[in-house]
Amino acid sequence: MIEANISEKWVGTNADELFSKTTGCPSTTVNDADAAGLAEMKFGAGKGQPGTVIMVTLGTGIGTAIFHGGKLLPNTEFGHLDMNGRDAEHRASDAVRQLEDLSWKKYAKRLNRYLTAMEKLFWPDLFIVGGGISKQAEKYIPLLKIETPVVTAQFLNEAGIVGAALAARTSK
């Protein structure tokens, strides 16, 4: 198994069980992009959206959450899709945009390549963009040239927090 963005020490650990035992309180863990997607599907940009919706979080990496018919396919890691021999998140994340001092036009071109690859795989009805860069969506979303509509997460970079609370509430 190949693990992404997690210490090997955590692999195979039941985090819910560990945190519940340690704190004496019930615990729920959820992938950060999944949490953001849960919030957007319940209360935000994805509310009432039929078909396939893909939440893409753009920050230090690229996170994804895929919903079909409102149901989450958990723990997708499509930030690790190959783009020119490297993980997509090493080509099209906000951290890379900043590190390489990319113009918004150049960044949008890279993001467009990534979203085009996702379109070819899933034929989504909607992309929702969240994460740290979502606060600047007007600078790059209009530059995208893909068929699928792309909207900003209504909760912006706070979607993950809202979704984590929602996951904790609904898991009990």
Asked whether the predicted pLDDT for residue 159 surpasses 60, the reply is yes
52 occurs within a structural domain: yes
21 occurs within a structural domain: no
Contacts of 30 (CB under 8 A, 6+ apart): 38, 163, 164, 167
| pLDDT at residue number 172 | 56
Instruction: For the chain, give the mean pLDDT.
Output: 92
Q: What angle do CA 55, 60, 64 make, to 5 degrees?
A: 20
Average pLDDT over residues 21-45: 92
54 occurs within a structural domain: yes
Residue 1 pLDDT level (bands cut at 50, 70, 90): very low
Average pLDDT over residues 29-36: 92
26 occurs within a structural domain: no
The CATH number of the domain holding residue 135 is 3.30.420.40
10 occurs within a structural domain: no
14 occurs within a structural domain: no
Sheet with 52-58, side-by-side order of all strands: 71-73, 62-68, 52-58, 126-130, 150-152
Instruction: Note whether 94 and 131 are within 8 A (CB).
Output: yes
172 occurs within a structural domain: no
H or E segment and range at residue 108: helix 104-122
In total, how many domains does the chain have? 1
Q: Closest Cα to residue 81, out of 111, 41, 123?
A: 111
2 occurs within a structural domain: no
Chain segment 55-98, per-residue pLDDT in tens? 999 999 999 999 999 999 999 989 999 998 999 999 999 999 99
| pLDDT at residue number 18 | 86
pTM of this prediction?
0.90
For residue 145, give Cα distances in angstroms to 49, 118, 159, 169: 22, 13, 25, 38
**Domain residues for 113?**
31-162
